[in-house]
Amino acid sequence: MKSLVILGAGTAGTMMASHLKKELNKSEWEITIVDQHKTHYYQPGFLFLPFDTYKPEDVKKTIDEFIPKGVKLIREKIDVIDKDSDTVVLEGGKKLKYDILIIATGTKTAPGEVKGILGDYWYKSIFDFYTYEGALALRDKLRVWKGGKLVIHITEMPIKCPVAPLEFAFLADSFFIKKGMRDKVEITYVTPLSAAFTKEKSAATLGYMLKEKGIKIVTDFAIEHADGKNGKIVEYGGEEVPFDLLVTIPTNMGDELMARSGFGDDMNYVPTDKNTLQTKVKENIFAIGDCTNVPASKAGSVAHFQAEILTENILLYIKGKALKPDFDGHANCFIETGHGKALLIDFNYEYEPVEGKFPFPVVGPLSLLRESRLNHWGKLAFRWIYWNMLLPARKLPFVTPKMSKAGKNFN
């Protein structure tokens, strides 16, 4: 009996378990998945929790219910990967020998990386919404907040879901308008990048949005520390941005498991081939989702497209055949823009988001890089698709793992 071990039962890990259970011969392969947690969160839902658009129950289910029958789930913390002996060591001391290892441990926020974020003002005037607890604490604050300077801030790239901070700014604008208090709130978006929209077509098409919504922007801001007492964030160059309520996206790092195991870059991401998803650590170790260092966005849709291609490559690897460098960095993401509308962007390593229709040319029905109500409904409907189609690895009709050029306006 050969052994395939998956580390992490989040979006990517669960999808791989579902795919491989269908493809691998059960008399030849035992599939094991390891995750210390009990809860499977629908992370795109965290954006909606602070605004009371989703309830807590809407974004969580159990990890167990999505693990296919026949796949062994071990609920334990992973201590280290010993690549030389093809063994995963769990915290309790148990050892899992593997023939093939798939790392799917994701990325998480590290708020301690910036001085002044954690401490006396954390969850009082300084919040983040990238965790379930953080999003709910922010919800409680927004329910009673009387107004002032709201600063939405990104510490450094890469982050998972790179558009979420912008979405938060847009949703905050609508939220306060609806509450009849928008004039009491000053919203500022602070980014380490040089613009809110850094890609040419996006900047041209959407550049008006921030101005139209009265959202101020501060660019090239590299945060040095947060001063909760005096309500300001301070840049290495000395620039200061005052706040009454700070919503920060902390540094996103991969799991410390990588550091303990002796591989991983300085942010704990796994060095991985960007097209085959085989890691550069050892040929029988693969990686998928947010934990890799590939230059694709860290997003659920990316993990979904990667899963289809990685499954194929695992099967090729087992047969001793050459892997296909088929992953093209494809991402497909909805972006909430407020007032019941959203954008859809579809792009990959080579092509930036452009206007057009998706998935079918002309008829769409979804519009690329343009606001529409249908896109907003698409984003909300996506939650059902996530639980019922993506996680169980059911094929999504009309959406291909490689980005399609059909329907896109490239000129």
Partner 1 sequence: MEKVYAGKTVSVDKDGYLTDLSQWNKDIAIEIGKEEGIDEVTDKHFEVLAYLQDQHKKEVALSIRSVGKSGVVDIKQLYELFPKGPLKISSRMAGIPRPKSCI
Per-residue contact string for residues 284-323; x = within reach of partner 1 by CB under 8 A: ---------xxx-x--------------------------
Q: Which of residues 117-156 bind partner 1 (CB under 8 A)?
A: 155-156
The tokens of 85 are what?
Answer: 């002996």
From CA 154, how far away is CA 192, in angstroms rounded? 7
User: Whole-number minimum distance, CB 222 to partner 1, in Å?
Assistant: 4
- Can you tell me which of 74, 193, 217, 315 binds partner 1, judged by CB under 8 A? 193
- Site size toward partner 1, by CB under 8 A: 36
Residues 360 and 356: their CA atoms lie apart, in Å, by 9
Reported in sequence order, the residue ranges of 219-373 that DSSP labels E, i.e. its strands, are 223-227, 232-235, 240-242, 245-249, 251-254, 285-287, 331-338, 341-347, 356-360, 364-368
Least Å from the CB of residue 216 to partner 1 = 19
Token pair, residue 320, equals: 């001793």
**Residue 14's CB: how many other CB atoms inside 10 A?**
27
State in angstroms the smallest separation of the CB of 8 from partner 1: 22
Q: Which stretch binds partner 1 (CB under 8 A): 121-129, 179-187, 192-200, 403-411?
A: 192-200
| CB nearer to partner 1: pick between 76 and 273 | 273
**Min CB(202)–partner 1 separation in Å:** 5
Nearest CA to 81 out of 259, 252, 303, 254 is that of: 259
Subset of residues 320 to 379 that bind partner 1, contact rule: CB under 8 A? 331, 333, 335, 345, 347, 353
Closest approach of Cβ 195 to partner 1, in Å? 9
Return the structure tokens found at 272.
Answer: 């991985």
Yes or no: say if 279 and 273 are a contact pair by the CB < 8 Å rule: yes
The continuous run of DSSP H or E covering 41 comes out as strand 39-41
x-or-dash string of contact with partner 1, 69-98, rule CB under 8 A: ------------------------------
Using the minimum distance from each CB to partner 1, give the nearer residue, 228 or 353.
353
Measured from the CB atom, the residue of 35 and 290 that comes closer to partner 1 is 290
Site for partner 1 in 16-75 (CB under 8 A): none
CB of 162 to partner 1, least distance (A): 5
How far apart, in whole angstroms, are the C-alpha atoms of residue 123 and residue 352?
36
One residue of 204, 265, 283, 400 binding partner 1 per CB under 8 A:
265
Q: From the CB of 170, what's the least distance to partner 1, in Å?
A: 13
* Torsion (CA) 345, 348, 349, 355 in degrees, nearest 10: -50
Pick from 274, 282, 383, 402 the residue near partner 1 by CB under 8 A: 274
Judged by DSSP in three states, 266 sits in: coil
42 vs 66: CA distance, rounded Å:
13
Which one, 329 or 401, has the nearer CB to partner 1? 329
For the bound state, the minimum distance from the C-beta of residue 336 to partner 1, rounded and expressed in Å, comes to 13
Other beta carbons within 10 angstroms of residue 375's beta carbon come to: 24
Q: DSSP readout, 385-402?
A: HIIIIITTTPPPTT--SS
Question: Which is nearest to 389 in space by CA: 301, 286, 290?
Answer: 301
| Residue 202 binds to partner 1 (criterion: CB under 8 A) | yes
Do residues 396 and 381 touch, judged by C-beta distance below 8 A? no
3-state secondary structure of 200: helix
CB of 172 to partner 1, least distance (A): 18
Write the CA distances from 24 to 64, 211, 286, integer angstroms.
20, 53, 16
Compute the least distance from the CB of residue 70 to partner 1, in Å: 37
Pairing of β 60-62 and β 215-218:
unpaired
How far CA 39 is from CA of 9, 61, 76, in Å, comes to 10, 6, 13
The nearer residue to partner 1, 175 or 334, going by C-beta atoms, is 334
Helix axes of 11-23 and 300-318: crossing angle, nearest 10 degrees: 30
Out of 57, 84, 266, 350, the residue judged to bind partner 1 by CB under 8 A: 266
Q: Which is nearer to partner 1, 269 or 317 (CB)?
A: 269
Report in angstroms how near the CB of residue 266 gets to partner 1 at its nearest: 6
158-177 residues near partner 1, rule: CB under 8 A: 158, 162-163, 166
- Pick the closer one to partner 1 by CB: 34 or 335: 335
Site residues (CB under 8 A) for partner 1? 113, 155-158, 162-163, 166, 192-194, 197-199, 202, 206, 220, 222, 224, 236-237, 251, 265-267, 274, 293-295, 297, 331, 333, 335, 345, 347, 353
